[in-house]
Amino acid sequence: MKLKCGFFGAEPWTEGMRKELEEKLHIKAYDIYGLTEMCGPGVGGECEYQDGTHLWEDMFFPEIINPETLQPVAPGEFGELVFTSLCKEAMPIIRYRTRDLTRLIYDKCKCGRTAVRMDRILGRSDDMLIIRGVNVFPSQIEACLTEFPAFQPYYFITVDRKNNEDTFDLDIELRAELYTPDPKKQAEYVKPLFSQIVSMVGIKPNIRVLEPYGIERSMGKAKHVLDKRDFTK
Ligand SMILES: [Zn+2]
């Protein structure tokens, strides 16, 4: 029997990763969304058009709020996803904060389903880094990386503060067959990635190319960030 499709959830993933999964596994890769507090996987899922995740609004009422003011945002704006369960009996949940940052798409879907769609998850409200005053989501770095096949999809961000200024180090790996310790040769690969990150995120990272397998591989949820700044000082 041939595998035709896969459903991927649990961690935010990008369109670049979808492309890679579909090309390498010869399947259609669909996004699925869920959280333990609501029902586990299946709070929403993508339809055949792969254009946003339909949320099952007859079971779970979704809202998007500003994570700082806790007020609802205007329709279509990004913010934190909040759910109220409509059918749960033993453990009803009212305005549960998921910490997932996304937006709701109210336009009619080509598939004909009327359930609202959720855009890709940008990150978590507690994952968001503020570096030099700019909001940075690790998922943005991941999205940039997947556009450059010379690099592995692994990365690690270290943020620190030196002389009252934030430092932003980004460790990445070239694919093993392309690895070179020569900084000049590395720069040929790094330059276009650097420009892409600057245009997407708005600040300049200090990119460091590690040796193959220099970034720790994780079996569960990957850890991507170390924030060494001490804001109590
Ligand atoms: Zn649809």
Measured in Å, residue 121 CA sits from the centre of ligand 1 at 17
The answer to whether residue 152 sits within a structural domain is yes
First to last CA, the chain: 61
Measured in Å, residue 105 CA sits from the centre of ligand 1 at 11
The mean pLDDT of the chain is 91
Q: Which residue from 35, 53, 43 is spatially nearest to 99, judged by alpha carbons? A: 35
Measured in Å, residue 153 CA sits from the centre of ligand 1 at 29
Percent of the chain whose predicted confidence (pLDDT) is above 90: 64
Measured in Å, residue 141 CA sits from the centre of ligand 1 at 28
Q: Which residue from 151, 156, 147, 137 is spatially nearest to 190, judged by alpha carbons? A: 151
Six token digits for residue 135: 């909001």
**Which pLDDT score is estimated for 127?**
77
Question: pLDDT digit string (tens) for 192-215?
Answer: 999 999 999 999 999 999 999 999
**Residue 95's beta-bridge partner residues?**
none
- The answer to whether 155 and 215 have CB atoms below 8 angstroms apart is yes
* Same domain assignment for residues 49 and 140: no
Measured in Å, residue 114 CA sits from the centre of ligand 1 at 8
* Same domain assignment for residues 14 and 106: yes
The residue among 124, 156, 183 that closes a domain is 124
**56: containing domain:** 5-124
Measured in Å, residue 35 CA sits from the centre of ligand 1 at 21
The answer to whether residue 172 sits within a structural domain is yes
* Same domain assignment for residues 67 and 138: no
Question: pLDDT digit string (tens) for 36-62?
Answer: 888 888 899 999 999 999 999 999 999
The answer to whether residue 200 sits within a structural domain is yes
Q: Does the pLDDT of residue 224 top 70, yes or no? A: yes
Q: Does the pLDDT of residue 233 top 70, yes or no? A: no
* Same domain assignment for residues 148 and 98: no
What integer is the mean pLDDT of 189-193? 97
CA torsion sign for 13, 111, 49, 199 is negative
CATH number at residue 199: 3.30.300.30
The residue among 124, 144, 167 that closes a domain is 124
Question: pLDDT digit string (tens) for 73-100?
Answer: 999 999 999 999 999 999 999 999 998 8
* Same domain assignment for residues 110 and 133: no
CATH number at residue 45: 3.40.50.12780
Q: Indicate the number of domains in the chain.
A: 2
Q: Does the pLDDT of residue 35 top 90, yes or no? A: no
* Same domain assignment for residues 87 and 28: yes
Which has more confidence, 147 or 230? 147
Measured in Å, residue 118 CA sits from the centre of ligand 1 at 11
Ion ligand 1 contact residues with beta carbon within 5 A: 47, 109, 111, 113
* Same domain assignment for residues 94 and 149: no
The answer to whether residue 233 sits within a structural domain is no
Q: Which residue from 134, 117, 138, 118 is spatially nearest to 126, judged by alpha carbons? A: 138
For the chain, helix, strand, coil in percent to 5 are: 20, 35, 45
Measured in Å, residue 38 CA sits from the centre of ligand 1 at 22
DSSP element (H, E) containing 60: strand 60-65
- The answer to whether 200 and 137 have CB atoms below 8 angstroms apart is no
Q: Does the pLDDT of residue 221 top 70, yes or no? A: no
Measured in Å, residue 43 CA sits from the centre of ligand 1 at 15
Question: pLDDT digit string (tens) for 116-171?
Answer: 999 988 877 777 788 988 888 888 898 899 899 999 989 999 999 888 889 999 99
The residue among 96, 124, 152 that closes a domain is 124
**Half-sphere exposure for 208 (CA within 13 Å, toward CB):** 12
